[in-house]
Structure 1
């Protein structure tokens, strides 16, 4: 079974990665369930932005990129205060090992500060949001809901469904027809998309 590492830290934005983690863990529309393993700075509990208390399965020091198949980074207040560099460094290690990294919202700012986005196409909440980090990658910024560039998937805070879709696409877990139906059901509330999604 493949493994997705989900980074957890205080005030991480539950909803931003919720769609993706559910689809990976259950495999309900892809037919391929994954193991989801939470990773914290330590094994001490963290509290999400929504107030859920999460006890990490693993500490950061115990994570090796080659043991996993994806790293997921959610937004959080910590990214906007210049923290999270240990997770950004972990993301760089994953990318260096050819393992995909999916980052949404504030996590993109953390990756920008660490130089991870300088040479890769990416998106975020807004171009100006990332420019405030002082990063050198603004020429590679795309004003899209989600962007895939090789092993890196990025999205802004308003695009959790597109973030899930783009990541599932990058992982090869569904074809375009099913991915479009997924977005149709969960973003556009299109009843005609449901039979395609579950078919």
Structure 2
């Protein structure tokens, strides 16, 4: 497993704001973030930003990655265009490589059956329930949830999502992880000194 490269899935209507904290702090801590699209053709985010993917989904091998990040997008609920990304998430989990999914990507994972036996969260339980998945008993009312190699979060929790990623990859631990979260989630200025000690 390549422990220093993280793959960020990008596709049309990708929710820009959901991974900013995650990717910025991963990069600042020695990780390389590579984007992976359906193809290498440019995609346009929900915020109108044009992204040229580094590689196509078909080229992505879990053995060359430390983590796959899947964000929300209108396309998760508009058909099966993003189903191949959920299938790739299954390949990652089967290979023991973690996956982090936020917002609409959780619905894609639910449709793929990946939430049927793992604790998870999302925007709301009824949102996932509409997918027809069988994991309702494992739904948790929480900002973000990690169960084995799968991290999930709802659309309003990009900071909690990042915290779970950092904990899973060992970017920040213990008091530093707590300080990072207090600084960026709670605007606790006293956490700055603890984070930078």
Taking structure 2 as the reference length, what is the TM-score of the superposition? Answer: 0.96
Unaligned runs of 5+ in 1: 28-32
* Partner residue of 1:135 out of 123, 133, 140: 133
Give the Cα separation in 1 of the matches to 2:92 and 2:109: 12
Unaligned runs of 5+ in 2: none
Give the Cα separation in 1 of the matches to 2:110 and 2:68: 16
Taking the TM superposition and a 5 Å limit, the aligned residue runs for 1:13-28 are 13-27=15-29
Corresponding residue SS for 1:129: helix
Q: Does the 8 Å contact 2:26/2:171 carry over to 1?
A: no
The superposition leaves residues 92-134 of structure 1 with CA deviations (integer Å, 9 ceiling, x where unpaired) of: 0000000000000000000001101001110000000000000
- Aligned pairs, number: 194
The superposition leaves residues 57-81 of structure 1 with CA deviations (integer Å, 9 ceiling, x where unpaired) of: 0001111110111000000000111
* Partner residue of 1:155 out of 153, 156, 160: 153
* Partner residue of 1:106 out of 104, 107, 111: 104
Map of 2:46 onto structure 1:
49
* Partner residue of 1:97 out of 82, 95, 98: 95
* Partner residue of 2:31 out of 29, 34, 37: 34
Q: CA deviation at 1:189?
A: 0.5
Give the Cα separation in 2 of the matches to 1:82 and 1:172: 36
Q: Does the 8 Å contact 1:70/1:101 carry over to 2?
A: yes
Map of 1:30 onto structure 2:
none
Q: CA deviation at 1:82?
A: 3.1
Corresponding residue SS for 1:86: helix
Give the Cα separation in 2 of the matches to 1:6 and 1:116: 19
Kindly report the root-mean-square deviation, in angstroms, between the aligned alpha carbons of the 2 structures.
0.8
Q: Does the 8 Å contact 2:107/2:128 carry over to 1?
A: yes
Q: Does the 8 Å contact 1:82/1:110 carry over to 2?
A: no
Q: Structure 1: which 4+ aligned runs deviate by more than 3 Å?
A: none
**1:63 and 2:63 aligned:** no
Q: CA deviation at 1:146?
A: 0.4
